[in-house]
Amino acid sequence: MPNLIKRSSLRLIVLVVFVIMAISGLLFSLYLIYFGAHDLYTYALAAMFIILSLISGFFNVFIAYSYYRSAFYDEYLEGIKKKLKPIAFYPTVAVAMPVFNENVEMVKRNLSRLKTINYPAEKLHFYLLDDSTKEDTLKELKSFAKSNGITYLHRENRKGFKAGALNNMLKHSKEEFIAVFDYDEYLTDQNFLTDLLPYFQDSKLSYLQTEKRYFKGSFFSDTVDLFDAFFFKFVQPSRALNNTAIFAGSCGLIRRAAINKVGGFPEYVIEDTFFSLESDLHNYTSLYIPQVYAYGKPVATFTELVKQQWRYNYGDTQFMMYYFSRIKDKKVKKHSLLSTIDYITHGLGLNYVSVMLIMFTLMSALLVFVAAPPSQVTITQLLEAKYIATTMEIMGICTLVLSILAPAILTKIHFKSIRKGFMVFFLNFALSMTRTRAAVSAYLNSSPSYGWVKDGKNVNGRVSRTFKRSISEVTFSSVLLILSVFAFIINNVYGAAWLLWYGMLYASTFILFYKYG
């Protein structure tokens, strides 16, 4: 109980701070609309500011609320554990690993490790779902599967991606439960099944998701791990309290009957999120266990991270369109307000972060050339209409400073590293255009692959390859730097520094590609 009080008190303070920030931003926005705007241009800027303030306030407060609420999840889970009975019988389980042209040795190593799971051998069956196109890979994995008693399933095309491979497996299997692991995940706790299966005494439980993390690696890869860590430590527990915990695609266990009920895995880029929603709409429950049973391969390069974020954002955008179409169906379960917000914030989360950053940047560029130099402006004058641009720029600085400090402070508290918090801040700027392009691509129903920026392997020279991968960000950064020079020429030193800072933030994409590959 003392630990709970300490955790909840700290998180309550964070929640209150975010609420105050949201209210302050909204009140200032209303002030601008009613008292500050005096012509079409400043009206437009004020309107833009109030829209951004409303959106950012909503997301920030809800995320802070999730952070606060997650403090109570351990007690909630303990209450469920106390009602569990020992396993009376062992159901059949299929352990599935989907692969596509992956590192053969890693696949073999991790599959071999999965075969050491503590469970009656006669109740356990392994499936290697191989969508590879490389002949050598196909031959070697097929041979490995045959010699190790693993059912090998190969498809000639990748229809439906990972979901398609899992649905194909359903045609060749009859097991009562399905455990999914990615090719790069190494089992570290052999009690995965014996720990998790007792929770399925609840006949309405569809799936159970465990915490996903990466092995320790470099400073960069460990920082990337924080992207998942924030979600699994704070967001998933809060969502689980609303029965909206997301099945994260692997390191989880699913009831076969639930999959059959919803018609299989929805064949989208992020099939796990779609399946989670369908399970909920079909009146099943879900659960999250905050324990790591397997570690994934670290994300070693910035290119890997960009491709991952492209897929996530493309899929989340598809999910948002899918969600609004599904909830119109009168036959499906109606969500509570909190559940609805859970799904909307999940689908719009990365889009929100990216678009908001870009919009604040563009607004700042518009403001710079109508702002009076702050050295000539008093506190009283900041409240006058003719100094509206300067006031808004100062508010922008406050927002930016807080957006830097928030991840830095939270990573210091929970992960003992303020440096990684600063890196998370820069990564959000470095990835903002990639995420935005992925969202646009999804809306246009374009290719879900990372195709807008090529790997550039055929380009000679490290600088040339890096430039090709980050050409959009470099162009945007260059424009901001040019505007910074113009601002300096007209003696707006403050505005010049402001644009220079933004230009450097977007240039971080080039730097990260160059430094981390």
Question: Within this chain, do residues 102 and 66 fall inside the same structural domain, yes or no?
Answer: no
Among residues 501, 450, 509, 446, which one has the least CA distance to residue 474? Answer: 509
Domain assignment present for residue 245? The answer is yes
What pLDDT is attached to residue 453?
A: 46
Question: Within this chain, do residues 235 and 252 fall inside the same structural domain, yes or no?
Answer: yes
Q: What is the number of other CB atoms lying within 10 angstroms of the CB of residue 170?
A: 17
Question: Within this chain, do residues 69 and 122 fall inside the same structural domain, yes or no?
Answer: no
Q: What proportions of the chain, in percent to the nearest 5, are helix, strand and coil?
A: 65, 10, 25
Question: Within this chain, do residues 69 and 113 fall inside the same structural domain, yes or no?
Answer: no
Domain assignment present for residue 440? The answer is no
Domain assignment present for residue 321? The answer is no
Burial of 405-430, coded b for 16+ CB within 10 Å and e otherwise, reads: ebbbebbeebbebbebbbbbbbbbbb
What pLDDT is attached to residue 467?
A: 84
Domain assignment present for residue 331? The answer is no
- pLDDT, tens digit, for every residue of 250-259? 999 999 999 9
Domain assignment present for residue 38? The answer is yes
Alpha-carbon span 164 to 499, nearest angstrom: 47
Q: Which residues pair with 442 in a beta bridge?
A: none
What pLDDT is attached to residue 456?
A: 45
Among residues 269, 291, 255, which one has the least CA distance to residue 438? Answer: 269
What pLDDT is attached to residue 123?
A: 95
Alpha-carbon span 457 to 113, nearest angstrom: 34
Domain boundary among 62, 83, 104: 83
Give residue for tokens 């929805």. Answer: 266
Among residues 362, 367, 313, 306, which one has the least CA distance to residue 476? Answer: 362
What pLDDT is attached to residue 112?
A: 96
Question: Within this chain, do residues 149 and 273 fall inside the same structural domain, yes or no?
Answer: yes
What pLDDT is attached to residue 513?
A: 92
Domain boundary among 38, 66, 83: 83
CATH code of the domain containing 120: 3.90.550.10
Number of domains in the chain: 2
Q: What is the dihedral of CA 8, 9, 13, 14, to 10 degrees?
A: -30
Domain assignment present for residue 381? The answer is no
User: Which residues constitute the domain of residue 146?
Assistant: 90-300
Q: Where in 241-307 does DSSP place strands (E)?
A: 252-255, 285-296
Question: Within this chain, do residues 52 and 109 fall inside the same structural domain, yes or no?
Answer: no
Domain assignment present for residue 396? The answer is no
Alpha-carbon span 399 to 403, nearest angstrom: 6
Question: 512 CB contacts (<8 Å, ≥6 apart)?
Answer: 302, 426, 427, 430
Alpha-carbon span 47 to 29, nearest angstrom: 8
Question: Within this chain, do residues 148 and 241 fall inside the same structural domain, yes or no?
Answer: yes
Question: Within this chain, do residues 156 and 260 fall inside the same structural domain, yes or no?
Answer: yes
Alpha-carbon span 333 to 242, nearest angstrom: 14
Domain boundary among 283, 300, 317: 300
Question: Within this chain, do residues 142 and 260 fall inside the same structural domain, yes or no?
Answer: yes
Domain assignment present for residue 50? The answer is yes
Among residues 171, 189, 180, 205, which one has the least CA distance to residue 119? Answer: 189
3-state SS string over 179-209?
EECCCCCEECCCCHHHHHHHHHHCCCEEEEE
* Host H or E run for residue 124: strand 124-130
Question: Within this chain, do residues 2 and 94 fall inside the same structural domain, yes or no?
Answer: no
Question: Within this chain, do residues 131 and 69 fall inside the same structural domain, yes or no?
Answer: no
18 within 8 A of 403, measured Cβ to Cβ: no
Q: Which residues of the chain have pLDDT under 70?
A: 1-8, 10-11, 14-15, 17-18, 21-22, 24-39, 41-42, 350-353, 367, 369-410, 414-415, 447-461
Q: What is the phi/psi pair of residue 445, to 5°?
A: 60, 40
Question: Within this chain, do residues 232 and 273 fall inside the same structural domain, yes or no?
Answer: yes
